[in-house]
Structure 1
């Protein structure tokens, strides 16, 4: 079997981070039977160690854990790792869900949950991640106002040639704007592109992510020129975008 065929059958690898073995271990077994490869971590510290050693397609992350909690670990993941996050949380209050979405989580599931629903949400998040740049080809990038985004390497380069760290959610948000330059994208559409079907309940989630992205690419994020607010409408990338061929 050639390498291409092997890559096509390699299952998505999930990291399950939860201090409760009574939940973590059966969940790992169930997801394995659903066609996923799973690795377990009983704490944020163990998860960080796993993340240093291996690349994961998605992280299932408990919020309430001894030591470093899931919210803190999620902040690290969205700032330093290119990996989607789904929160597994016993907290059902809207405030906690909003916080999770605002710091960059892709979705959340409230315990106790139906395993089939969790699988559906995992697959939905993985599909969104794989659809981010459907027209991207090797050695092709977006260029706008001196900035450059390489969709395949998920690398953002500023006008001076420096690489700017960008989270998974920020990457998907920027890609949505670059695919639709000078078009008004309302919150519902952006949330569907970036965070999925549940996030539309919380407009603040997309506002927060736009603010984060502005701090990365604007000279003055309080007087944004590239990503403009369209009152009553949403947001618009006010820049011409072109596709260019880049050298490795």
Structure 2
């Protein structure tokens, strides 16, 4: 499967580097510069979830998880570990390419966040730039520099987390349904798995404060004014 995906994605113009197990993948990641990672949950040695956690210790690179079980605990565990999205095996190449393209667009949209925690926290004073800023209490979003600050301290967000936050900030006080967020943030053209939304919201709450995003049961989420 690894060989077939490498050949197929090469036809779409992607340059691929493949690893047969999690530890080899971790070494490749540390030695190279990658725009996106595709991690199989069932990797030998260090599994995909463990590899995702190790990568998230130092990088905000977009991560797509590949799972053999669409409704299993491994999907939730992968998203909780920091993955941005997932696909279920067996997966058609065009579906895989669509998810990759969506993740890469988010990374291009949010270059500062995608550069990693080191870049996101650089700058000395920690103050936002003089560009357009959205302020919600002690939360400041620099929409020009694509940086986020809580109480003046920079917060490192993945491209998906940043785009989700900007979607909320554009509609303060408005209830956004999960399928709306899936369409606008994850670019699903159909009703996808709402767990990716729920778990990304959980990650945002851990980074920004639990009270900023309200759950409206039976509908979706609302960003507090």
Q: Is the 8 A contact 2:133 2:140 kept in 1?
A: yes
Tell me, yes or no, if structure 1 residue 175 matches structure 2 residue 166.
Answer: yes
**1:69 Cα deviation after fit:** 0.6
1:30 alignment partner in structure 2: 8
Tell me, yes or no, if structure 1 residue 228 matches structure 2 residue 214.
Answer: yes
1:57 alignment partner in structure 2: 35
Q: Is the 8 A contact 1:132 1:175 kept in 2?
A: no
* CA gap 1:116/1:212 in 2 versus in 1, 3 angstroms: closer
1:238 alignment partner in structure 2: 224
Q: Which runs of 5+ in 1 are unaligned?
A: 1-22, 240-248
Within the candidate set 48, 69, 90, 1:92 is matched to 69
Tell me, yes or no, if structure 1 residue 107 matches structure 2 residue 85.
Answer: yes
Distance in structure 1 (CA, Å) of the matches to 2:109 and 2:148: 18
2:51 alignment partner in structure 1: 73
Farther-moved stretch of structure 1 (144-153 vs 38-47)? 144-153
SS in 2 for 1:185: strand
**1:210 Cα deviation after fit:** 1.7
* CA gap 1:153/1:69 in 2 versus in 1, 3 angstroms: farther
* CA gap 1:166/1:199 in 2 versus in 1, 3 angstroms: farther
TM-score normalised over the length of structure 1: 0.68
Q: Which runs of 5+ in 2 are unaligned?
A: 112-129
Q: Is the 8 A contact 1:102 1:206 kept in 2?
A: no
**1:43 Cα deviation after fit:** 2.8
**1:176 Cα deviation after fit:** 1.4
Distance in structure 2 (CA, Å) of the matches to 1:197 and 1:66: 31
Distance in structure 2 (CA, Å) of the matches to 1:199 and 1:97: 19
Distance in structure 2 (CA, Å) of the matches to 1:86 and 1:205: 11
Distance in structure 2 (CA, Å) of the matches to 1:205 and 1:66: 25
1:127 alignment partner in structure 2: 105
**1:232 Cα deviation after fit:** 3.3
Larger Rg: 1
**1:167 Cα deviation after fit:** 3.2
Distance in structure 2 (CA, Å) of the matches to 1:41 and 1:150: 38
* CA gap 1:46/1:144 in 2 versus in 1, 3 angstroms: farther
2:141 alignment partner in structure 1: 149
Distance in structure 2 (CA, Å) of the matches to 1:180 and 1:79: 31
* CA gap 1:157/1:190 in 2 versus in 1, 3 angstroms: same
